[in-house]
Amino acid sequence: MNQSYFVWPGDPIMFELGVFQLPFSVSIPGLGLSILLIYFAYSWLDKTYNPKPVKRKVRARDRNNETTKPSQIPKYYVTASVVSSLILGQLLFLALPGPDISQIGPIQMRWYGFGFAMAFLLGYFIGSAMFKHAGYKQEDADSLLTYLFIGTILGARLGEVIFYNPEYYLRNPSEILMIWRGGLASHGAFIGNILAIWLYVKQRPHISYIWVLDRMTIPFAIGGVFVRIGNFFNSEIYGLPTDVSWAVIFQQVDLQPRHPSMLYEAAVGVLLFIVLWTMYKKWNHKPPAGALFGMFLTILFSARFLVEITKVEQADFAVNWIVGMGQLLSIPLVIAGLYILIKRVDWSQKTIETPPKEEKTK
């Protein structure tokens, strides 16, 4: 009996804009020089422009606490510095041969990039809300986003280099930083984020490490959903051939029906998000320390171990191993999650109810 399967063409491009012809060529070295000129110009203005401080008006009873606020550099000074630096940079290289840009495009928006951006954007809003629940400043949440962005990119790339293709990158070290050619590992991204959060709290002693780890599990869970859907559009991280009714034929790969393994992982991310958010709300934004992080490690990487059974092995050297590289990397993380849940979390902490508001006496 013939089985009808869903066929996925695997177009990774979300939309594409045409080529934009510039009215004149722009020197690339000239742009580099302009950036340096802008930096030095702003530094000079910052040091030399020193007007009288402007006093802030205060009430008479607060006069003892009166402070002054220095004026900023006028905007037209900054604008003039930027414009003149850009023009000067181009004029100096006008008669010199060198690489230039005469057109922009075609500009493409890819589904994977869109998913990656949505992961950070949604994670930022959720994370900011949790920082607000705890009474921390918005600046603390904004700074953490920078740490996580760098940790994700570097960790994911180095994870691909070290865990999955070390032999290739040892022979081609110049390609290690070429992330636009593909190759990001989720285990590496996780490790990179753990280290990034550690560096973040080192600079902020008023925030505990485990507190941040607990809260970031929720954005990580929903962010992973968008990334895995992006993998589906790219027809990557696909599964082994199968005859199950929900199998997908990835035309960019071959005509065999395969497990949509990336969608399995996306479903796990949705389930994990629901579990963690429910726990977070149950304890009124104050779950026991380590509870969310331990649950995140246990559920995510236990599921990852099982999903790996359906996937094509990503590391060529591990094809004949008893367990694949993804499974091998998941085992210690599952053990760590169980240890945190069993040994470190104080489950005796009761659900924290919001105290009722006192009624005003008439």
Q: What is the pLDDT of residue 355?
A: 41
Asked if pLDDT for residue 309 goes beyond 90, the answer is yes
Average pLDDT over every residue of 199-227 = 94
Weakest-pLDDT range from 40-44, 213-217, 326-330? 40-44
Q: What is the pLDDT of residue 49?
A: 62
Asked if pLDDT for residue 97 goes beyond 70, the answer is no
% of the chain residues with pLDDT over 70: 86
Q: What is the pLDDT of residue 181?
A: 66
Q: What is the pLDDT of residue 96?
A: 65
Q: Is residue 116 very low, low, confident or very high in pLDDT (cuts 50, 70, 90)?
A: confident
Q: Is residue 4 very low, low, confident or very high in pLDDT (cuts 50, 70, 90)?
A: confident
Q: What is the pLDDT of residue 50?
A: 54
Q: Is residue 56 very low, low, confident or very high in pLDDT (cuts 50, 70, 90)?
A: low
Q: Is residue 229 very low, low, confident or very high in pLDDT (cuts 50, 70, 90)?
A: very high
Pairing of β 13-17 and β 6-8 = unpaired
The count of C-alpha atoms lying within 13 angstroms of the C-alpha of 298, restricted to the half-sphere facing its C-beta, is: 14
Weakest-pLDDT range from 102-111, 125-134, 210-219, 284-293? 102-111
Exposure b/e, 305-344, CB count within 10 A at least 16 = b: bebbebbbbbbeebeeeeebbbbbbbeebbeebeebbeee
Asked if pLDDT for residue 165 goes beyond 90, the answer is no
Q: What does pTM read for this prediction? A: 0.74
- In tens, the pLDDT along 283-297 reads 999 999 999 999 999
The H or E element containing residue 16 is strand 13-17
Q: What is the pLDDT of residue 333?
A: 95
For the chain, give the mean pLDDT: 83
Asked if pLDDT for residue 188 goes beyond 60, the answer is yes
Please choose, from the candidates 182, 187, 186, the residue with its C-alpha nearest in 3D space to the C-alpha of residue 169.
Answer: 182
Pairing of β 6-8 and β 248-250 = parallel
| Secondary structure of 69-80 as H, E, C letters | ECCCCCHHHHHH
Match 């726990």 to its residue by tokens: 279
- In tens, the pLDDT along 251-284 reads 989 999 999 999 999 999 999 999 999 999 999 9
Q: Is residue 76 very low, low, confident or very high in pLDDT (cuts 50, 70, 90)?
A: confident
Q: Is residue 163 very low, low, confident or very high in pLDDT (cuts 50, 70, 90)?
A: confident
Weakest-pLDDT range from 89-93, 134-138, 312-316? 89-93
Q: What is the pLDDT of residue 162?
A: 86
Q: What is the pLDDT of residue 248?
A: 95
